[in-house]
Structure 1
Amino acid sequence: MNILIIEDNHQKLQSIKETITEELSERSITPSISIASDLAQAKRYICTTLYDLVIFDMFLPENSSSTNERDCSSELIQEFSISKNYQTEAIALTQFVISEIEDIQLFNLSGITVVHYAEDLNWKLALKQKINRASQKVRCDFLIFCALSSERGAYQETNCTLGNKKNIYGMNCQEVEIDGSRGFIITPRGMGLVNMAIISSKAIELFQPKIVAMSGICAGVQGESNFLDIIVGKTCWEYQTGKWKDGNFEQEPYYAELSRSLQVDLEQSSEDLETINHLRNNLYNSALKSMKIRIAPLSSGSAVIADSEMMKKIGMQHRKMAGLEMEMYSLYESAAQSLSSPLVFGAKAVVDLGGVDKNDDYQEDGCIISARYITLMLKEQLKKLKNHS
């Protein structure tokens, strides 16, 4: 359990730490406690690290070289509200009488409980209640989204460890572990952009993951991709946005993109023969002999396309478009608009070329190789994140 204590009074700090240790020792939980003793340090910690519980003091020195305390509550609250900790359990312990605090409403609006710190020890009960709530919150290192149960089932053919399926706040989740990191594979109620936007936004806000990903299958674009190629969405957009005018549809796509650093990592791994061999291990579809990992533009829409002419029209939105699928743009936007700002990427295997000759010949292998790719890339990125933390 990761806890931040913002406090410059040594005696008060020791009392808070003793209370935390006393409460968590009963559950055999060893907390990781960070201490911020001035405003500058507190703001830095709040902005850079995700905590399970933040304990505020209102009066602090400006920085480590200052000895004069002042009321820093408005700056702390503002920083907290726009940081990755905006949903973290929080409590302010103050030696001032609550009724005399002028900006008490600012704390209430930010979800921060304000408690009077005094000798009657009622503050301990309030703090223990916060500790209990924080310890019960479900957080994870990563999330994987699959639009279909067959896409999620393909993770049985990967090196990850699958756990129990759970109904968490109405979401269809399955526990998964990759190289010691824990997460969930989540399947929405149905396919399409709307279902994915709802479930991914809800899950990202609830679980606060470091990285989110998507695997599955898609249609390829003739000339830009082939059967069982894996397409990683370098750029994603919804092809259905625009305006109908005088019987014609004027396109107005909005784009979401990979982070530049993540894109470089994925591009480098796409050229690795060992990675390719890992993906097609014990699979014997002839198309796998020439499969490639393509970091390329990919379009999303809620309709299944089985029309080559429609594929051409959609392809006009980006001359290098390599694939068409139904959910990835929503995931990219959900991650981008979340204050927790997780890394995000999606990878789908080509199982048809968007024409009338759709069939199931490539779907099973497509689900497997995309799941293996996501597992492998998550392992590398989670290791990188741990090294940088």
Structure 2
Amino acid sequence: MRILLVDDNQQKSDVIIKFLNSKGIKNESIVVAEHASAARVKLSECAYDILLLDVLLPARAGAKPSGEHSVELLRQIVEDGTSAAPQFIIGITADAEGTLSYTAEFKALVTQVVHFNPGDGVWQEMLTAVLQLLKRQDQAKKTNDYDIVVLNALRTPELDNLIKVWPVKLGPEKLLCQNILHSTGTIELDGITRRVACAHLSQMGPIASAHAAANLLSEYRPRLLVMTGICGGFSKEVSIGDLVIADKSWDWQAGKWTDDGTLASSVDPRDGAADLVAYARTIGDAIKLAHGSFTGYARPVNPPELVIGPMVTGSAVVASKDIQEVFKGQHRKMAGIDMECYGMYYAASNYGGAPVKTLCIKAVSDLADRAKDDDHQQFCSYISAAAMLEVVRCYFKTVQN
């Protein structure tokens, strides 16, 4: 919580600061400006939750206080948008008579005007109420709102198949942060309605997925953040159609290219949620049923295997045996490679809000050492969505509400 106190009366400021300290607000969270010019500088440097503003304010150091200067500052904040507007703007004046000519205009631009009297508890009660509200809002940001957020790289075929497989009811697509297409709605799981948001990227890659995941986490504060879809696989570990349960992920391109053309890796792995990975180990029977019910497109002859292992991520498409030499020193059991998983895991691991569990399950639609084709993308999008649905069901069977 940040508070900007704008007042040229040092004694008055000291009383207000002492009161804020008694309410648990530390001095480093309180910034003081003695005139309008200083206040503009402070407002340009960072955002504040509360602005406490004297009605009669000097324009600059040594100038005569006037209501014109405080009103002009307020207009710049509220109407012009030249500075970030604090959530609460509160006028505090010790000179009730001197502010009469400015009261109406001042009141139109602030949350509330209160008379300051050290012996009167009215201003203290008002500030206490505002502080309590802000603390409750901050606590709300650290609690979950939505149950599930699904992030896909592609609208077609990944999100399209998830919508077919999951029993979701979604509203129309809308934009988040001008480039994240998503829709919100509900899903019925074992007779309980859960809130869900489904999103897909406007472009592929780990930067796009990290950006989208961070904004979706902030907007919806979900219990689960998951990703389904297609990936490449390594032929020694997986076959076409197999499901890669990403217990961890990292950027395989991170590091330093040496003079001899090799990559000295700088691996920074981020983990999927251990309990979600454990649930994924139990869904074999459900996957066999889903494999048998898939029709209309090419599908592997045998049901997919569940492969627990790293899903490495990079911004480049891999379709060469030579590039696999880069991977050998990173992990002996790398199972899949995609362009988004690490970005989502990274965003989740650095999120400071409500607790969230994350997991990526993707099906192998091509092998990273061979030419790409689209034959199994529909099946892989379908089967990964079916697998994640079972994991989600398992998770919510264990939670209280």
Which of the five TM-score ranges fits, normalised by the shorter chain?
A: 0.5 to 0.7
1:30-45 correspondence to structure 2 within 5 Å: none
Match of 1:166 among 163, 174, 177: 174
Gap regions ≥5 residues in structure 1? 1-76, 78-96
Quickly say closer, same or farther: Cα 1:207–1:293, change in 2 above 3 A. same
Note if 1:274 corresponds to 2:286: yes
Q: Deviation per CA, 1:317-370: give whole Å up to 9, x if none.
A: 211111111110111111111123410100111011023421110011111111
CA contact (8 A) 1:160 1:375 kept: no
Moved more, 316-325 or 210-219: 316-325
Counterpart of 2:67 in structure 1 is none
CA contact (8 A) 1:279 1:372 kept: no
Partners of 2:219 and 2:28 lie apart in 1 by 23
Note if 1:364 corresponds to 2:378: yes
Quickly say closer, same or farther: Cα 1:125–1:257, change in 2 above 3 A. closer
Counterpart of 1:38 in structure 2 is none
The alignment partner of 1:167 has SS state of strand
1:108-147 correspondence to structure 2 within 5 Å: 111=49, 118=122, 139-147=145-153
Partners of 1:157 and 1:287 lie apart in 2 by 20
- Structure 2 length as normaliser, TM-score? 0.63
CA contact (8 A) 2:272 2:360 kept: no
Partners of 2:326 and 2:185 lie apart in 1 by 39
Note if 1:325 corresponds to 2:333: no
What percent identity do the matched residue pairs reach? 22
Moved more, 277-286 or 140-149: 277-286
Gap regions ≥5 residues in structure 2? 2-14, 31-46, 51-86, 91-113, 115-120
Which one-letter code corresponds to 1:255 in the other structure? P
1:324-363 correspondence to structure 2 within 5 Å: 324-340=337-353, 341-363=355-377
Partners of 1:98 and 1:384 lie apart in 2 by 49
1:1-389 correspondence to structure 2 within 5 Å: 98=16, 100-103=18-21, 104=25, 111=49, 118=122, 139-150=145-156, 151-164=158-171, 165-170=173-178, 171-179=180-188, 180-248=193-261, 249-267=263-281, 269-270=282-283, 272-278=284-290, 280-283=292-295, 285-340=298-353, 341-385=355-399, 387=400
CA contact (8 A) 1:228 1:288 kept: no
Q: Deviation per CA, 1:49-98: give whole Å up to 9, x if none.
A: xxxxxxxxxxxxxxxxxxxxxxxxxxxx8xxxxxxxxxxxxxxxxxxx84
Partners of 2:132 and 2:342 lie apart in 1 by 42
- Structure 1 length as normaliser, TM-score? 0.65
Partners of 1:188 and 1:377 lie apart in 2 by 23
Cα deviation, residue 250, structure 1: 1.2
Cα deviation, residue 123, structure 1: 7.2
Partners of 1:233 and 1:217 lie apart in 2 by 12
Partners of 2:260 and 2:147 lie apart in 1 by 48
Partners of 1:315 and 1:362 lie apart in 2 by 27
The alignment partner of 1:287 has SS state of coil
Aligned alpha-carbon RMSD (Å): 3.6
Which one-letter code corresponds to 2:169 in the other structure? L
CA contact (8 A) 1:154 1:368 kept: yes
Quickly say closer, same or farther: Cα 1:111–1:120, change in 2 above 3 A. closer
Cα deviation, residue 227, structure 1: 0.7
Quickly say closer, same or farther: Cα 1:365–1:315, change in 2 above 3 A. farther
Quickly say closer, same or farther: Cα 1:160–1:255, change in 2 above 3 A. same
The alignment partner of 1:246 has SS state of coil
Cα deviation, residue 316, structure 1: 3.8
